[in-house]
Structure 1
Amino acid sequence: MQTYEDAINWINSRLKFGIKPGLERMEWMMEKLGSPEKKLKVIHIGGTNGKGSTVTYLRSILNEAGYRVGTFTSPYIETFNERISVDGFPITDEEIVQLVAHIQPYVEEIETTNLGSLTEFEVITVMAIYYFAYINPMDITIFEVGLGGRLDSTNILQPILSIITNIGMDHVNILGHTVAEIAFEKAGIIKNETPVITGAKQREALKVITNKSKEMNAKLSISKDDYRIENVRTRERGEQFTFSSAEVQFQDVVINMLGKHQIENAVLAIGAAIFLQIDEPMIREGLRKASWPGRMEIVSEQPFVILDGAHNPEGITSLINTIQEHFPYKKKKMIFAALHDKDLTNMIQPLAKLDAEVYFTEFDFPRAASAEELFSLRLLPHAKINKNWKKLLGELSHALEENEMLIVSGSLYFISNVKSYLKEFPQF
């Protein structure tokens, strides 16, 4: 493994092994590597939507309190390296090469056993665990679940705190076709006598999470019951609210990420910070400074362009609500691309509420839906098709008038493509 490109190509070559739920391969790798997972002080975050934002809020708070914080997130938005980050900064190309060179022999060895090949996500999880255990130890690490929880490769970890964000209908072919079935998979990250905080609201989900917490003797905090949110105000570029719990009250907390749903994510981070005994000034400042690319991100003021990775029905609902709250008087245009294995009907149909001029497009990714496939659902009869999103982005943005905005949304993989393009061609 000589170059960064070699390392990334090798990691990407694991994509052909798809998704293989289960912990047997991770257990084998951890044993071979000297049990690095036992050396970490971990906060484990699962759920359907809001995991990345919750990670960001909590990481920012911990940094403000003086902690060195490692994070493991997915997918990446701008560079692959950001999946493994230190204090919000991606690890270096050289460190990626170093990690791949170290674990590759073990990955090849396991293929000679009856356990079979590691997937791409398993490889990256191993890299993150090894990095934070041996190469660059952190005060605290925050690991985001990849898919589900119970059988996700990150569930090899033994956290000091588990967080489960909201529960939605996503990845139903793998996780289950009901809220209760999906909640069962998400609740699989709850560990014995390890506190858990959840932002779930549905009765069925809460029943599953509560039962699992009791079974594991894990103290459960339910956001909607144990935390009170009052005096909510929409700011020009963020939100403001008052947070109360049995122990504390923080008045006029400010976040600079757009959307009421971001208040829910911030509240989970506040709950975690209180558990970690972080002082109020650090919590406030950490929340204020937090930002997360590709989530209601204003990438240009003139012309007014927003990127948002609304990749499932819950994400679309949050997008629509946020746009209507913050920009009710702007005329709207939208570029939309999605993965064909998502719940496209319940993602596209609600977009009619935006009264936007919608363009379906497509991007280079194995699971991406074609523009024709999106249009063929006949859910937005006045939508248009344009396969060349780069040309479309330029044409629409340059034609925007003062009272208009452009929303680029859909798959996070699509948003990643757009972010990379904008970095190379900031003038569109």
Structure 2
Amino acid sequence: MAKDVESQYAEALDWIHSSMRFGSRLGLERITRLLEILGNPQKNAKFIHIAGTNGKGSVTAMVASILSTSGYRTGMYISPYLEDYRERMMINGKKIPKEKLVELVSQVRPAVEQILKEGFDHPTEFEINTALAFLYFAQEECDYVALEVGLGGRLDATNVVTPAVSVITTIGYDHMTQLGNTLSEIAFEKAGIIKPEVPVVTGVVEEEPLEVIRKRAAQSNSDLVIVGQAPFANVTWEEVHPETIGSDDLSPLRGPTIDIIGPDYRYDHIYVPLLGKHQELNAALAVAALEAARVKPLRFTVQNSEEESATLPIALDHQGIKVGMARTEWPGRLEVMHKNPLIILDAAHNPQGAQVLADFLKELEGRRIICVYGILGDKCYKESTAFICPLCQEVIVTKPHTPRALDPFILAQEVEKYVEKVTVEENLDKAMELAISKASSNDVVICCGSLYLVGPARTFVRKKFGIPEYGGE
């Protein structure tokens, strides 16, 4: 029976991935009609809709963790995945079961055939993924869904929901072919997720893109909450020194602890388990989003020891936020996979992300850094390389698992401007094995440049050292 499920699952995945040949075409016509045929499952839950150049995945993971910890049945939709397709759609931290995905494909496939008969173009793979996820969350009766935008926002397939709150994390230069060449053009696309009278939370404080978001929020009669260290921000945070909370751990391998201060709320000593100072903003955004969404206390029924029902209140309170944030998992983003040698995976794939990674690597001063590096050809690889590679003593250039990968020999020429010891090893597993074999116990192996690199690298490291899967049943 297990083999039958596996074969059915493989067939379902083949059908989903076969849509890749139709490319990535932004637009809402196909997804809107597809969801109509399926009964508009996206209307069955409350959504926290999250866009942004960087940080949207981290905020999505934080929001989902806090909500599920607080007692809500919580869906999470992300893209792309690292190791397993089923990471795309999770409930309370667990991947969708294979048999459930098979069942959903059997429902979505006829709907796709129907819209083709009606004269629509074939849905893209992302549109099919999104329809499957909405159907899953509806059938499993999720209370909330943390919904990550795929690309941009205005014309993204996720932009068919009316959320409880819209979040725009940051605005930077990425996907310029689709979104525009200026920060204001990119902000216009991302601000397209703002809906009438739905609150908006943003971490954008730069004047050019922020003005676009302000204007769209005003046109939509939407309250705007600005999160940041700027004087005009509504929500800010303060870093808590470890000694304040009785800790002497000053290691850069420990995430920050912060106090989050809003206009009428304050959450003290919130530990953020994700590494890097940039996660302070992401944590404040997650909390501000839940506050803006006015998440209500939840009541549910349990059995006490006398077999009688008791109704207990669960509020989204300080404890729920504190515990939920501390439980957040977001693999492949400054993720420590092994301690001796220190093996870190980071999916930094644009200059903004590369600068964040560089800031973290500077904190590891005094340790030899061996970098396994690969990037996509449509990214600003010269700028990213200039941030990361001067901090490395040795770089092994390899190839991400996608046809969009930059030729590693072209990348190596750029890397050689900053590093003397450069090796090209196109096979990623061999590149990781080589880096680990070269590292002493005090050295650092960092694998970075693309999710399409970090995902397979994570599988390699996980199997080598016996590390459990992310989101396992």
Smaller-chain TM-score bracket: over 0.9
1:58 aligns with 2:95: no
3-state DSSP class of the match of 1:149? coil
Residues 115 and 32 of structure 1, relative CA distance in 2, 3 Å threshold = same
Of 154, 178, 182, the match for 1:178: 182
Percentage of identical aligned residues: 37
Unaligned regions of 5+ residues in structure 1, if any?
Answer: none
Output the CA distance in 2 between the equivalents of 1:320 and 1:370: 23
Q: In the aligned structure 1, how far is the partner of 2:16 from the partner of 2:257? A: 42
Q: Point out 4+ residue stretches in structure 1 off by more than 4 angstroms.
A: 232-235
Q: Does 1:144 align with 2:181?
A: no
Q: Deviations over 1:215-257 (max 9, x none)?
A: 0001010102111222354843111222212212223321111
Q: For residue 448 of structure 2, what is the amino acid of its counterpart?
A: S
Match status 1:130 vs 2:135: yes
Give the match's secondary structure for 1:3: helix
CA–CA separation in structure 2 for the residues paired with 1:146 and 1:393: 29
Provide closer, same or farther for how the CA distance between residues 251 and 40 of structure 1 changes in structure 2, counting only shifts above 3 A.
closer
CA positional deviation for 1:115: 2.1
Cross-structure match for 1:74? 79
8 Å Cα contact 2:371/2:392 also seen in 1? no
Contact preservation (8 Å) 2:432, 2:457 = no
- Indicate conservation of the 8 Å contact 1:273/1:283, yes or no: no
- Confirm or deny that 1:408 pairs with 2:412: no
The equivalences for 1:196-211 within 5 A come to 196-211=200-215
Work out the CA distance in 1 between the residues paired with 2:240 and 2:356. Answer: 16
Q: 1:250 aligned to 2:267?
A: yes
Change (3 A) 1:163 1:376: same
Residues 357 and 388, structure 2, Cα contact 8 Å, conserved in 1: no
User: Is the contact between residue 346 and residue 449 of structure 2 (CA under 8 Å) also seen in structure 1?
Assistant: yes
- Pairwise mapping of residues 38-49 of structure 1 onto structure 2 (< 5 A)? 38-49=43-54
Mark the CA change 1:404 to 1:229 in structure 2 (over 3 Å): closer, same or farther.
same
Please say if 1:389 is aligned against 2:428.
Answer: yes
1:360 is aligned to 2:364: no
Is the counterpart of residue 347 in structure 1 residue 384 in structure 2?
A: yes
Amino acid at match of 1:46: A
Amino acid at match of 2:123: L
Q: 1:295 to 1:233 in 2, by over 3 A?
A: farther
Q: Distance in 1 between matches of 2:334 and 2:451?
A: 12
Q: Distance in 2 between matches of 1:122 and 1:333?
A: 39
What does residue 411 of structure 2 align with?
374
Counterpart in the other structure of 2:35: 30
More divergent stretch after superposition (354-363 vs 202-211): 354-363
1:379 offset after TM fit, Å?
A: 4.4
In the TM superposition, residue 4 of structure 1 has moved relative to its aligned partner by 0.3
1:333 deviation in Å?
0.9
Aligned-residue CA RMSD in angstroms? 1.8
Contact in 1 for aligned 2:197/2:223 (Cα 8 Å) = yes
* Secondary structure class of the residue paired with 1:129: helix
Say if 1:329 and 1:403, in contact at 8 Å, map to a contact too. Answer: no
For 2:322 and 2:206, the matched residues in 1 are separated by: 29
Give the distance between the partners of 1:267 and 1:152, measured in 2 at CA.
Answer: 25
- Render the CA deviation track for 1:161-196: whole Å, top value 9, x for unaligned: 111111110000110000000000000000000001
DSSP 3-state at the match of 1:154: coil
Q: Check the 8 A contact 2:392/2:419 in 1, yes or no.
A: no
Match of 1:259 among 262, 266, 276: 276
Normalising by structure 1, we get a TM-score of 0.95
- 1:331: how far off? 1.3
| Alpha carbons of structure 1 residues 83 and 341: separation in structure 2 relative to 1, 3 Å | same
* SS of 2:145 mapped into structure 1: strand
Q: 1:293 aligned to 2:331?
A: yes
- Distance (Å, rounded) in 2 between the aligned partners of 1:375 and 1:272: 42
User: Matched residues in 1 for 2:417 and 2:151: separation?
Assistant: 28
Return the alpha-carbon distance in structure 2 between the equivalents of residues 123 and 217 of structure 1. 32
**CA deviation map 1:290-338 (0-9, x unaligned):** 121101111111121100111111111111112223x222111100111
Q: C-alpha displacement at 1:381, in angstroms?
A: 5.6
Instruction: In structure 1, give the amino acid aligned to 2:23.
Output: G
SS of 2:188's equivalent? helix
Deviation at 1:18, TM superposition (A): 0.9
Q: Say if 1:154 and 1:95 are closer, same or farther in 2 by CA, change over 3 A.
A: same
Q: CA separation in 2, counterparts of 1:87 and 1:149?
A: 25
Residue of structure 2 equivalent to 1:90: 95
Alpha-carbon offset, residue 287 of structure 1: 1.1
Greater Cα radius of gyration, structure 1 or 2: 2
Deviation at 1:375, TM superposition (A): 2.0
Give the Cα–Cα distance (whole angstroms) in 2 for the partners of residues 121 and 231 of structure 1.
Answer: 38
Residues paired across the two proteins, number: 426
* Conserved? CA contact 1:320–1:353, under 8 Å: no
